[in-house]
Amino acid sequence: MPASQPLTDRDRQVLDFAGLTWRHDGARDMAIRDEFGTSAHLYMQELNRLLDEPHALAYAPVTVSRLRRIRDDKRRARSIRKLQKA
Return phi, psi of residue 7, to 5°. -70, 140
Sign of CA dihedral 46, 11, 26, 75: positive
- Rounded to whole angstroms, the Cα distance separating 3 from 36 reads 26
pTM for this entry: 0.84
3-state secondary structure of 29: helix
In a domain, 13, yes or no: yes
Range of the domain at 76: 9-85
13-65: per-residue pLDDT in tens?
999 999 999 888 789 999 999 999 999 999 999 999 999 999 999 999 999 99
In a domain, 27, yes or no: yes
- Report how many domains make up the chain: 1
Which residue, 49, 51, 13, 50, is CA-closest to 32?
13
In a domain, 46, yes or no: yes
